[in-house]
Amino acid sequence: TSHWTRGLLTRLKESKPRFGFKVIAGGAGAWQFRAAPQQRRELGVDLVFEGYFESAGPALVMNLLDGGHPDDCTELRTCTDDIAPIRAASAMGVIELSRGCGRGCRFCSMAKQRMEHVDVDIITSDLRCNRDAGRTSVVSSSEDFFRYGGRGTSVDFESLARLLEEMRRIEGLSFMQIDHGNISSVLQFSDAQLREIRELLRWEKATDYLWVNMGIESANGELVEANCPGKLKPFHAGDWEEHVREAADKMLRCGFFPVFSVILGLPGETSGDIARTRRLVEELGRKKAVVFPIFYEPAGPDETREEQRFTLDAMTAEHFKLYRACYEINFKLIPDLFWDNQRAGGVSLAKRTLLRMLGKGEVRSWRKAFRKIGDGLNA
């Protein structure tokens, strides 16, 4: 991502003298340009806009077009009342269901924004727009798919089921990939409700691996609560590890495929926390779930950010064992998950076969790197 972003911005910067345009950086990662002002200048970013565009974006662009020189803008209102239907197919067929989250995670730019939901009529209109443009597989966009229609951190099964029923009525769509869910949200549904949700997600193309991304962060619930104050609600920190196991079992028996993530370098973690998380990860692997390790990156520009972020230089032997355990699980399970997802999305057999062959080469490359790093840490 960094490589392609830098390449694009470099080309834009080279063209600015000829065309005289301005470069605005927006989107969920826009805060990173504020956190790295030197790189921002090098890449020719004139203005940073943080927030949802419907808020102050139109006025800001009109100001630029009128010859103004507005300052950076931060407008964090979710603005769901101002959302209009899209007019052309969205990138990757992304369909926005909700905005914000409000669970307070220190590493997330949506942490303090209360979750609000997009109107069903807007969602179905966006689906038809993608279908009419020939995009038959779509991706839901929400910080927590399972909280659609709910208030606070509570779920609302009736609202979610009603939305999925309306989406399913639209003909010509193959399937929808879910992006993110929350363990605490999943646990608020009964098995019967989750199975009904899964059935409503069976569109024209059946999928065996309908995956959902969910953050574990750490096996230590107290550590998670310290870094993500609202993530565990309405449950208790002391039960977190058991809740993770319960969510994995519940998702698997109800037809979903859990894709978990853990965070390396959470502020306050100990070597015991890391080892405990690795044992939990290995147990989840035996349940046939996959787990991705993520480096801690505090969200937002502040003077201590560089000291807090986790880097390769900070990786200990325990971190490496955890990281490697995650990927050894993924090497076994991810190929079938991708194959199934690509098949449902209409990718040809030839292309799927080629991608699988390339993937095997990647696995060998990763394992070679793991051996090299492991030798270095043991030296």
> What digits encode the pLDDT tens for the residues 71-103?
888 877 778 888 899 999 999 899 999 998 888
Per-residue model confidence (pLDDT) at position 182: 95
CA 260 to chain centre: 11
What is the β-pairing status of strands 175-177 and 98-99? Answer: unpaired
Q: Are 109 and 28 in contact (CB under 8 A)?
A: yes
Would you mind telling me the total number of residues written for the chain in this entry? Answer: 379
> What digits encode the pLDDT tens for the residues 123-151?
999 999 999 999 999 999 999 999 999 99
Query: Is the pTM value of this prediction over 0.85?
Result: yes
* Helix, coil or strand: residue 311: coil
Encoded tokens for 90: 């969205």
Q: For helices 157-168 and 120-132, give the axis angle rounded to 10 degrees.
A: 30
Q: What share of the chain is helix, strand, coil (3-state, %, to 5)?
A: 50, 15, 35
The rounded radius of gyration (Å) of the Cα atoms in the chain is 22
Per-residue model confidence (pLDDT) at position 11: 95
Q: Is the confidence at residue 346, as pLDDT, over 90?
A: no
Q: Are 262 and 218 in contact (CB under 8 A)?
A: yes
State percent of the chain over pLDDT 70. 98
Q: Is the confidence at residue 181, as pLDDT, over 60?
A: yes
For the chain, what is the mean pLDDT?
91
Q: Are 40 and 33 in contact (CB under 8 A)?
A: yes
What is the rounded CA–CA span in Å between residue 201 and residue 178? 9
Per-residue model confidence (pLDDT) at position 307: 63
CB burial of residue 70 (10 Å; 0-12, 13-18, 19+)? middle
Residue 47: beta bridge partners? 24
Q: Is the confidence at residue 193, as pLDDT, over 90?
A: yes
Q: Is the confidence at residue 302, as pLDDT, over 80?
A: no
Give the residue ranges of DSSP H helices in 234-348: 240-253, 271-286, 305-308, 317-344
> What digits encode the pLDDT tens for the residues 12-47?
999 999 998 999 999 878 888 888 888 899 999 999
